[in-house]
Structure 1
Amino acid sequence: MEKHEEQLAAIQEMRDMMDQATRFKSISGLSGILAGILTFICTYTIYLVTGISPFESEALDRMWLMSSQALILCFISLLIICIGIGFYLAMRNANLSGKSAWDNAAKRLAFSLAIPVFAGGIFSMLLARFGLIAIAAPATLLFYGMGLVSASKYTLDAVRTVGLLFIFLGLLATYFLAYGLLIWTLGFGLLHVIYGFIIYVKYERA
């Protein structure tokens, strides 16, 4: 009986080792913190341009009507900068730990995350094109959350929890549609900062 239990334990240990080998663990908590801060800056910048606070009802609709170009420029810039920071810091972490920055686990992670994120981005642009900009805020939260859940099997387990929180915020933003921008800012801003800080303290800080 004891021998059988030892064999099961050995098999489980091998499975755990294989699971760890297929996960990309060089994601940067600092990139999450910076993404959150940049989200707050983006929202504040749009507030300065339009004079409309995200705390106001139907803020996103009114901002879009007043200055759609400012919104598009700000959100696209935010996306590009955050992706660039995320890739750069992940590659730096991988190099510092002596691992490949673009191994099979990293490729699977990027692929699993990219499909829902880019689908959500295209879907949001189509919503804006048809004048349904208010739905874009919860849509991006939902698609991003699903992307994190999908990608979590190739990286840290905590990513799954964050993905589920984004999905919850997306549903909440749908229910409180008039305050979608505020919930969007809390998700991509505050949640990113908190998550990034936890990852940085737990895995990166020497």
Structure 2
Amino acid sequence: MKNHEEQLAAIQEMRNMMDQATRFKSISGLSGMIAGILSLLSLYFVYLRTGISPFEAEALDRIWHSSNQIQISYIFIGLLAVCMGIGFYMARRNARQSGKNTWDGSAKRFAFNLLIPVFVGGIFSMLLIQLGLVALAAPVTLLFYGLGLLSASKFTLNAVYTVGLIFTGLGLLAAGFLSYGLLIWALGFGLVHILYGFIIYVKYERV
């Protein structure tokens, strides 16, 4: 009986070691906080340019149809590029500090499972905007980002799964309250990123 229990314990330990080896742990909570702050600052800049607050009804549709449409497009495209760049840089820095390869198998699996839903959601959002369904862009980006996090969570920190659930829920909420989709978008990409980025930073990164 004792030998059987020891064998089960050894098997469980091996499984835990394999699980740890296949998880991408260099994800940066600090980059999440920066992304959240930049998202809120971008919305504030949009408010300064258009005078339309995310707290107002139909804010996203009104902002898109304002005279600053091209500038608004550049702001959100720039936000995506900067956040992805910071995330990659911080993850590479964390990997090097821990003596790990930046682009190992776990990192590739994490990126593959996250980026495919994100890019599909981004393309789908652009198609919706071209069709004049601007208000749907907020829930679609939240939903696909949440689904991407859920898909990638099995290859990284457990906290990512919770964040994925929150973003997916916010996406559904934004779909139910389209008039305030931009406000819910700000709650997700702004405040949730800051909160969970801080939690991940304190729990896994801070020495």
Q: Which range, TM-score by smaller chain?
A: over 0.9
SS of corresponding position for 1:131: coil
2:34 aligns to what?
34
Are residue 180 (structure 1) and residue 185 (structure 2) matched?
Answer: no
TM-score, length of structure 2 as denominator length: 0.98
CA distance, structure 2, for counterparts of residue 71 and residue 172 of structure 1? 24
The 5 A counterparts of 1:1-206 are 1-66=1-66, 67-206=68-207
CA distance, structure 2, for counterparts of residue 103 and residue 12 of structure 1? 24
- The CA RMSD measured in Å over matched residues stands at 0.6
TM-score, length of structure 1 as denominator length: 0.99
Structure 1, residues 42-73: CA drift from partner, whole Å, max 9, x if none? 11111111100100000000001103212211
Deviation at 1:184, TM superposition (A): 0.1
Indicate the percent of aligned positions where both proteins have the same amino acid.
69
The aligned length equals 206
CA distance, structure 1, for counterparts of residue 37 and residue 188 of structure 2? 12
CA distance, structure 2, for counterparts of residue 201 and residue 158 of structure 1? 12
CA distance, structure 1, for counterparts of residue 71 and residue 48 of structure 2? 11
Structure 1, residues 99-140: CA drift from partner, whole Å, max 9, x if none? 111101001111110100000000000010000010000000
Query: Runs of 5+ in structure 1 lacking a partner?
Result: none
CA distance, structure 2, for counterparts of residue 11 and residue 68 of structure 1? 58
Matched AA of 2:26: S
Structure 1, residues 179-205: CA drift from partner, whole Å, max 9, x if none? 000000110000000010001111111
Deviation at 1:2, TM superposition (A): 1.9
Deviation at 1:171, TM superposition (A): 0.4
CA distance, structure 1, for counterparts of residue 175 and residue 62 of structure 2? 17
Query: Runs of 5+ in structure 2 lacking a partner?
Result: none
